[in-house]
Structure formats: structure tokens, C-alpha cells
């Protein structure tokens, strides 16, 4: 369990994250992107994460979506080396425009074995929220969901299944999170059929 979150530092991160992502929305929706970031961070906190992990949960997409290397340097300056390291390891590209989807995902998967435990933990919280949203949105809108992605439903399932295998192999502890991710990935397999 966490020993408490540094609320002052966390509030600073919430404000910074909101400013960075205030004009961004979840793919194909009118849902503010910030809600995803808050959900990931909340999942980190509820599963025993520390302040740096919780802040990295808020900022995990900042580098790939909001400025690349320049944003990473700002994160390091504002929130320290540990947060910056987690964010960097959760990032699948620092390049704009982003390389093709499959290329990025394969590179991310191959780098997971070198990632820190904190980075894997934050990544699992992120991927669990993403996968849950995919399954729920599929129930709401059906196959139209897949138009939001730069990948087919089979590729999206392949990616999440591969992530699950990596988390199982490389992330210590977090049995409940891994179990929940396994369940949601199996739901994804069913909607992919």
C-alpha cells in the first residue's frame, strides 16, 4: 500500500496535465482526454502506487501527444528524474508525426523487458483502462468502434494480448490488476471474432 500521496506535488501535476491536454479528446468521442489520464492515475493510487507513479499516471501520454523530447525535459524539471523515467518508458514515440501504429507497438513491446517496475505498473494501469474503454465502447457502438483506430480489431487484440504476456512475465506483484487485465483482454478476443 502507498504511504500517502504528496497532495501539493500531485495538485501541481494535475494542473500541468490539464493544461497540456485541455484541447484533446478520446478517439472518436467528445470525452475530454484528461479523464483517461485521471483514471490511470487513480488506478495507480488505488493499487498502492506512490506519488511519483501517480504523477506519471497523469503524464504518461504527455511526451507522445504533447511535444516529444521538449515536454519530457519539462516533466523532468518540474517533477524529477523518477517521474520522467516512468513517463519516458511509457512512451511509444517522441516523434511527430508518429510512426505507423504497428511499428510503434512492436518497439514498445520489445522494450518492456528493460522497463522499471514502476513503469510497468503505470503502463498496466493505462492499458487496463484503455482495454476496458474499448470493450465498453464496443457494447455501445458496435463495429463502428474500430474506425477510431489506425489498426484492425485483430491487431488491437494482438497488442493487448502481447502486453498481458509481457506484464505477466516482467511485472512483479499486482496480481489483481493483472487478473483484471487478463479478463478484459479475453473480452476483447470475443469482440474481435
Classify burial at 162, counting beta carbons within 10 Å of its beta carbon; exposed 0-12, middle 13-18, buried 19 or more.
middle
pLDDT at 142: 92
Q: Roughly how many angstroms between the first and final C-alpha of the chain, as a whole number?
A: 39
Asked if residue 28 is part of any domain, the answer here is yes
Cell triple for 29: 468521442
Residue 113's pLDDT is what?
93
In a domain, 1, yes or no: no
- Asked whether residue 101 is assigned to any structural domain, the reply reads yes
Q: How far is CA 98 from CA 65, 66, 68, 143, in A?
A: 9, 12, 10, 25
Please state the domain count of the chain.
Answer: 1
pLDDT in the model for residue 105: 96
Residue 139 belongs to some domain of the structure = yes
78 within a domain of the structure (yes/no): yes
pTM: 0.95
Separation of alpha carbons 43 and 65, rounded Å: 21
Residue 99 lies in a domain: yes
Mean pLDDT by 10 residues, the chain (193 residues): 84 96 89 96 97 98 92 97 98 90 95 97 98 95 91 95 98 97 95 66
Q: Is residue 151 part of a domain?
A: yes
Q: Which domain holds residue 27?
A: 7-192
CATH number at residue 147: 1.10.3210.10
| pLDDT of res. 4 | 87
Ramachandran area for residue 71 (φ above 0: left; ψ -120 to 50: alpha; else beta): alpha
Tell me, yes or no, whether 2 lies in a domain.
Answer: no
Amino acid at each position: 500500500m502507498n504511504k500517502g500521496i504528496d497532495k501539493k506535488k500531485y495538485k501541481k501535476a494535475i494542473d500541468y496535465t490539464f493544461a497540456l491536454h485541455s484541447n484533446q479528446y478520446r478517439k472518436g468521442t467528445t470525452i475530454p482526454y484528461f479523464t483517461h489520464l485521471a483514471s490511470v492515475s487513480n488506478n495507480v493510487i488505488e493499487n498502492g502506487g506512490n506519488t511519483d507513479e501517480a504523477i506519471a499516471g497523469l503524464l504518461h501520454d504527455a511526451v507522445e501527444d504533447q511535444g516529444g523530447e521538449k515536454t519530457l525535459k519539462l516533466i523532468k524539471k518540474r517533477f524529477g528524474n523518477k517521474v520522467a523515467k516512468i513517463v519516458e518508458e511509457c512512451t511509444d514515440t517522441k516523434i511527430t508525426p508518429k510512426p505507423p501504429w504497428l511499428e510503434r507497438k512492436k518497439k514498445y513491446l520489445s522494450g518492456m523487458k528493460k522497463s522499471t517496475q514502476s513503469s510497468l505498473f503505470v503502463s498496466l494501469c493505462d492499458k487496463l483502462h484503455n482495454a476496458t474503454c474499448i470493450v465498453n465502447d464496443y457494447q455501445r457502438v458496435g463495429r463502428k468502434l474500430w474506425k477510431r483506430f489506425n489498426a484492425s480489431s485483430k491487431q488491437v487484440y494482438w497488442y493487448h494480448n502481447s502486453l498481458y504476456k509481457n506484464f505477466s512475465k516482467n511485472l512483479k506483484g499486482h496480481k489483481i490488476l493483472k487478473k483484471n487485465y487478463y479478463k478484459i483482454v479475453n473480452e476483447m478476443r470475443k469482440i474481435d471474432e
